[in-house]
Structure 1
């Protein structure tokens, strides 16, 4: 075997091409294959510009994603930082490699200063997404761009809210006739289909409406576009067609067919008679269609209108019928087009209504969404803008060099903005004297974001435009092609070329170029820089459809799908192969310093890429990996409300709001929240929950599950009873974030937190949805005030997908879509979702049209010619992008590529779509170089053919050895327990300073209160005493009754007693000063004061605070029943609480007397607390 390294000749050629692309004095357009080092070229070019003396603030790098911008910044600063401390000789060598020439005097010193220069640049180096650049541009020139000064940029959550608000406005504006048209044409999903299209095409359709002079004027163009008279109406066309029937001739024809023909003629003659006899024009028309056409009038023309006997005997009858058939075929087409015109007019009005409503929402919020940023930036820089010259003048000294990354994914509107930004680079007689350049890099083959507006043809057109612009002013220009891959093994690249190049009989490890068999305008083949590092490509047989699926049990969930499908078999096979390759230690290559060595594969080396998350395979393969004990990262995107851990917290929230919600409580009890990590410790299993539920009928008052739990003495429920009581008590007075984090951080009786319990049951993948849930709680507090009910409703009502950041540091298999894998590479790539057609299913039925705005045709079979052409164009674009998506998927692999799939659909074995990746690859990957192999599929499925492999099988190295993989042992200090920090500052509530059984107050037994409402009662009284004093006395009782009317968990008698108790205090003349001027309710106190425990921050809340010129009065409500009759009987914990408040407020009001009192609500009695009692409370408590 040759030495495992980069081939010197190929690497030298690749380096030369990269140096051409990085020339700082030339504008450059680069087409770069996957793995050819385009990010390195971008960084090299920025460094070359800096070395050439260009100021960092004049360089702009535009990337497609925030992750790409962050990666580029990291690489750039690492290179520059290393240079600042690199030895002279080593630095000189690296600079000469970068520049491709000998160093000039002083260049090494300049290179050392670049790191500091970049750091000190005002605002930092401009390496950002195109949306971030546009936002910054608009903030500098808001008035010139027509943007609201100080505008907000909508995040995803805010955009969803604006869309929902706009949708409500649209629905409210629809007339009954419009609703009927929408439903009849497109079914119940019609409105959302149109709004989705309107959102994606908002600015384009708004421009068309404005250009036409309004939505009605644009709608008028629908009829001529569809070759119809102006305003042609389907109902009128039907009526005219029936009125023009030659009745006498048709009646004679029907009579002849019924009496002179065969039974077939008689049957058809009767249909014609019914049509002529029908009084309703619609019924008559439909019956005539059923006579002339198949499928009850919807299909093709009937081949024979009458039998041969009638045709020979009565040729004039046949001639009349043929004539009418032709007329009705034309009328049927007109009616279809008229119905489409009417429906499209309604869709256009809905679209216009949505655009105006959405714009109004944004205007009201003084906000812009991402599309607005690009559009307004483009308009700002457009020549038609009267301010564009001024803006260009202001930008002239700020921008000299623009670099555009991932240019194949740039949308036309974004290209327009880039042209406006760089037009002056190539304009005017002085353009050649100014040192300004544009660098563009991309790859047509990797353009996979058409749903965001990307057009690969525009990418190539911009290359031609840049070349022509540079030539026109005699500026240097380069157009190198980067065809050398530093990523993939030669065998993988050869297989990729064989799949896409036009006529290559068998894969060969060499450069292959030629016309593409797929819709690429140009196909640039690949050369492998790697030498002596063989890889392999496998294609497994597609799993056939089983004869029958496993029978489900009547006890299975109703939405659980049957097991044993071909998809499930493949998921098991893939998971099994991954487990086996890890166990065998299959070799993968690792590069260090330009040389390669082998090491055993690890879970993080493997990625499974699917076309779509839908279909069931995505979830099933993750499940199978978990079953086999293979670490797996979980889904790369999620709908928050569908995540199991989030469902548990939502159930907790519903229970906290309504303790009578038995289902919510049952979900919480059976969740990981009350399941100990140690499997030997008892949890709440199904039997325990059943036992608890049975006791509901034994409770005299309200047989709810919560009442059963609260009164239960079963030790299995002790943790749940205590924890859930605390949650209910805190729900009304604790911030959302604190409510949930406090519960999750709670240390359980078995020693672990509830976080730990969730991870033990659900795995680390639960971390991201939980953190996102808590972040939503914080956001809801900021935006909506933090009500628990509205928060639960919002989370449960959102179905938007959230992207999970997949950490490369975790040693886990990743499962993701091909779209999400863009920019990723792994030693082993598995493509299982390969047999489906990209055009299977519903195509978007709304099509943009330049003359009439849009055409809406939900049913393909009813497409007129103009729509059929639009649909065919859309389908061809879809197929072309599907081919480019396959290229991206194949080129993610470094060492091993596995392609597999499952059959589905009709037939005994199922089918493989002709448009599928699997069909394309199985057709292309043939020849002597492809050897037959056994695969996990044909070894377990009878009758399956063997698979094929190109390249040598991976070497089995055994289980991964830490020493061999270069990972050092974990040092002992890393796993040793941290030393206790005795000086840590802790946070405490005033009531917790003396909180133990000895100091707790005596209360009536909870058994005497089977509803368990003691704490609930106190919370309600506190709330009433907080809010009612602000109302006039004559309105307080009604307000209290309204407040308690929604507390269904409080009995009617208890409500009346609470109101009496509360109003008795407010109406008592002795208590008037407590609720008069200068008094405040629920006053928060945070801090430390002399006399309190050391290194403790107190966080508390005073129920009522009265501050006058000379004194401060602290009142705390207590709802104990019965209340103590004297101060000596007051619980020590209460006295400690009041002493703490007194100490804090003495520090706040040092010149005033601070007095404390307890207000016992049960007896309407104010109990002053003497200073002597409070002075020594902490010493007495400690004793």
Structure 2
């Protein structure tokens, strides 16, 4: 592994069509346009956010009320507010006396004297409690309240209301409707029975589909016919696969065996089954692979073969073994797809009920705030222009956890000038800061594909390319793990493996020497200090799937001892 990475290889692993990333230099970052900033763990994301903020105060003469900073939790907003205050105080205390190696402040002190800076930064500190540092939900609430007319929101609506009971009552209404229909049809309609087989009570259904109930995205479910077609295609592919390797199978397993004729018959049973059409849905259970067909790839038949032959057979029969497992489950999958079709119909019914109930009660929940603002921003009115005039610049932290509706709002406000239908003359900037490798909020609709779409929409892409937190050995191990191949060197560009998929590129980061000077140590006499098992910077632990890690002191100790670096 290399100890450092050459700048020339910064974009060496990018796929064609993906914009090149430039190293982020806070003092020269353009203060207009749409920018995506990729910041891996430990690369100084918050540090650079505070410096960009400082430049906006001084160079753009913006008030703290007009710089929009968004993140995803209230705790994070307070952390950002505190870090910004610290940076402003640091600038006031040290102006003209900064470390000579600090190129950021060297650039600023060339432009501004202490007399220029004092009133601006003192005013910012004085009003920092009023700074526009919000969660996405509090931002939407503020805009909808301030721009109620343009956004189409009832002036008397109660925002950020818990609507769980409204949602549950709508689900109960749907359950009652199906139960009544089932009773009226004297059991001929089995929708209700299928429903309660998977979601016995309304509360079960609401918990299973809570995200969809609060979304406006159209719902689609697999149909029995689509599952049938997919299964038939899987059989056809296995048939072609085995036919292509038939001579090898006969040579190794059939022709040289004393039960050659019996095994030939089994092969033919397998071929016939693979070549058969899917039966009528009433005969789904007939799709189970015949016992004679499954005997063809029974592992006992080649367990004692030479290792290379055995491995070839294992690889050859892997798709057929998977098909056998899928065939055993096809009946359940078909039945489950029917239940999900019923659920999809129910979600449409329930959404309408919920919407009507909220309108009557004049309430909105957290998701409604985002959906309402996204819908209003998509209309041809002056709402987006009003937002941009109030917040000409936005910095969005943890952008990888942004969902499509949230990005739609930001795009409508800050990228509207790209649309021919919009007359937007207000200068502004949008900075989207995040790391797709750290996308963790899928459970609340965070969508890494939104990040990738924003990456393509951005005018410029920047990379924080140095890890200041971890030791050089740790950074090199981290790079090697996510690069998926030998790291690039001065003479070789290297070819990264597609570790993450979905065009999420991994560009190795550099290591600073700061962490090497203060290595991580355990307290003297601690159990962890006595039981260090390896000097490796990065250690991997395998957790068996069937283990219960919610309890057990020894398991927690094992994580503590082996997972710190």
Which bin holds the TM-score, normalised by the shorter protein? 0.5 to 0.7
> Per the alignment, do residues 128 and 513 of structure 1 end up closer, same or farther by CA in structure 2, a change over 3 Å counting?
farther
2:167/2:206 contact within 8 Å kept: no
Query: SS in structure 2 opposite 1:617?
Result: coil
1:200 aligns with: 211
1:346 aligns with 2:342: yes
1:406 aligns with: 398
Q: Distance in 2 between matches of 1:334 and 1:33?
A: 43
Residue 223 (structure 1) shift: 8.0
Query: SS in structure 1 opposite 2:516?
Result: coil
RMSD of equivalent CA atoms? 5.0
1:131 to 132, 137, 152: 137
Name whichever structure is richer in helix by fraction.
2
> Per the alignment, do residues 18 and 182 of structure 1 end up closer, same or farther by CA in structure 2, a change over 3 Å counting?
farther
Deviations 1:954-1009 (A, max 9, x none): xxxxxxxxxxxxxxxxxxxxxxxxxxxxxxxxxxxxxxxxxxxxxxxxxxxxxxxx
> Per the alignment, do residues 394 and 413 of structure 1 end up closer, same or farther by CA in structure 2, a change over 3 Å counting?
closer
Q: Distance in 2 between matches of 1:354 and 1:458?
A: 27
Query: SS in structure 1 opposite 2:25?
Result: helix
1:117 to 113, 120, 123: 123
1:762 aligns with: none
> Per the alignment, do residues 195 and 432 of structure 1 end up closer, same or farther by CA in structure 2, a change over 3 Å counting?
closer
Alignment of 1:1014-1033 (within 5 A): none
1:617 aligns with: 549
Query: SS in structure 1 opposite 2:70?
Result: strand
Query: SS in structure 2 opposite 1:367?
Result: coil
2:467 to 479, 485, 488: 485
2:50 aligns with: 43
Query: SS in structure 2 opposite 1:402?
Result: strand
Residue 146 (structure 1) shift: 3.8
Alignment of 1:27-426 (within 5 A): 27-56=34-63, 57-84=65-92, 86=93, 88-90=95-97, 97-101=103-107, 103-104=109-110, 106-119=112-125, 121=127, 124-154=130-160, 158-175=162-179, 177=182, 181-184=191-194, 187=197, 189=199, 194-202=205-213, 204=215, 208=218, 297=286, 299-301=288-290, 303=292, 342-382=338-378, 385=379, 388-426=380-418
1:530 aligns with 2:526: no
1:513/1:525 contact within 8 Å kept: no
> Per the alignment, do residues 396 and 29 of structure 1 end up closer, same or farther by CA in structure 2, a change over 3 Å counting?
closer
Residue 108 (structure 1) shift: 2.6
Q: Distance in 1 between matches of 2:165 and 2:421?
A: 51
Alignment of 1:703-742 (within 5 A): none
2:24 aligns with: 17
Q: Distance in 1 between matches of 2:382 and 2:446?
A: 30
Q: Distance in 2 between matches of 1:142 and 1:374?
A: 14
Q: Distance in 2 between matches of 1:529 and 1:407?
A: 25
Deviations 1:277-326 (A, max 9, x none): xxxxxxxx99x96xxx9xx746224659xxxxxxxxxxxxxxxxxxxxxx
Residue 26 (structure 1) shift: 5.3
1:154/1:368 contact within 8 Å kept: yes
Deviations 1:39-69 (A, max 9, x none): 1111111110111133223211111222221
Residue 613 (structure 1) shift: 13
Q: How many equivalent pairs are there?
A: 450
Deviations 1:684-720 (A, max 9, x none): xxxxxxxxxxxxxxxxxxxxxxxxxxxxxxxxxxxxx
1:409/1:447 contact within 8 Å kept: yes
Deviations 1:320-358 (A, max 9, x none): xxxxxxxxxxxx999989856753443233323332343
Q: Distance in 1 between matches of 2:144 and 2:94?
A: 44
> Per the alignment, do residues 227 and 610 of structure 1 end up closer, same or farther by CA in structure 2, a change over 3 Å counting?
closer
Q: Distance in 1 between matches of 2:421 and 2:488?
A: 54
1:466 aligns with 2:466: no
Q: Distance in 2 between matches of 1:613 and 1:133?
A: 41
Deviations 1:364-404 (A, max 9, x none): 4422122111111111111xx2xx43223433431211111
Deviations 1:1108-1132 (A, max 9, x none): xxxxxxxxxxxxxxxxxxxxxxxxx
Q: Distance in 2 between matches of 1:437 and 1:49?
A: 10
- In structure 1, list runs of 5 or more residues that go unmatched: 1-6, 210-217, 229-284, 305-331, 468-477, 538-574, 589-607, 626-812, 816-827, 832-895, 898-1183
> Per the alignment, do residues 170 and 397 of structure 1 end up closer, same or farther by CA in structure 2, a change over 3 Å counting?
same
> Per the alignment, do residues 123 and 75 of structure 1 end up closer, same or farther by CA in structure 2, a change over 3 Å counting?
closer
Q: Distance in 2 between matches of 1:71 and 1:829?
A: 30
Residue 102 (structure 1) shift: 6.2
> Per the alignment, do residues 397 and 107 of structure 1 end up closer, same or farther by CA in structure 2, a change over 3 Å counting?
farther
1:183/1:190 contact within 8 Å kept: no
Residue 829 (structure 1) shift: 7.8
2:32/2:430 contact within 8 Å kept: no
Q: Distance in 2 between matches of 1:75 and 1:18?
A: 19
Deviations 1:404-429 (A, max 9, x none): 11111111111111111213454579
Q: Distance in 2 between matches of 1:151 and 1:612?
A: 50
Alignment of 1:749-768 (within 5 A): none
Q: Distance in 2 between matches of 1:432 and 1:149?
A: 28
Q: Distance in 1 between matches of 2:515 and 2:340?
A: 62
Query: SS in structure 1 opposite 2:26?
Result: helix
2:40/2:435 contact within 8 Å kept: yes
1:497/1:525 contact within 8 Å kept: yes
Alignment of 1:578-597 (within 5 A): 579-581=526-528
Name whichever structure is richer in strand by fraction.
1
Residue 441 (structure 1) shift: 1.4
Q: Which has the larger radius of gyration?
A: 1
Q: Distance in 2 between matches of 1:502 and 1:428?
A: 43
Query: SS in structure 2 opposite 1:60?
Result: strand
Residue 225 (structure 1) shift: 6.1
Q: Distance in 1 between matches of 2:424 and 2:352?
A: 46
Q: Distance in 1 between matches of 2:112 and 2:465?
A: 35
> Per the alignment, do residues 443 and 20 of structure 1 end up closer, same or farther by CA in structure 2, a change over 3 Å counting?
farther
Query: SS in structure 2 opposite 1:368?
Result: coil
2:447 to 450, 455, 463: 455
Deviations 1:726-783 (A, max 9, x none): xxxxxxxxxxxxxxxxxxxxxxxxxxxxxxxxxxxxxxxxxxxxxxxxxxxxxxxxxx
Query: SS in structure 2 opposite 1:161?
Result: helix
Q: Distance in 2 between matches of 1:495 and 1:611?
A: 20
Q: Distance in 1 between matches of 2:493 and 2:175?
A: 59
> Per the alignment, do residues 142 and 612 of structure 1 end up closer, same or farther by CA in structure 2, a change over 3 Å counting?
farther
Q: Distance in 1 between matches of 2:527 and 2:368?
A: 51
Q: Distance in 2 between matches of 1:16 and 1:338?
A: 52
2:404/2:447 contact within 8 Å kept: yes
Query: SS in structure 2 opposite 1:83?
Result: helix
Residue 523 (structure 1) shift: 0.7
TM-score by length of structure 1 reads 0.33
1:521 aligns with: 504
Query: SS in structure 1 opposite 2:124?
Result: helix
Residue 134 (structure 1) shift: 0.8
TM-score by length of structure 2 reads 0.65
Deviations 1:585-631 (A, max 9, x none): 99x9xxxxxxxxxxxxxxxxxxx999999964233239977xxxxxx
Query: SS in structure 1 opposite 2:156?
Result: coil
Query: SS in structure 1 opposite 2:209?
Result: helix
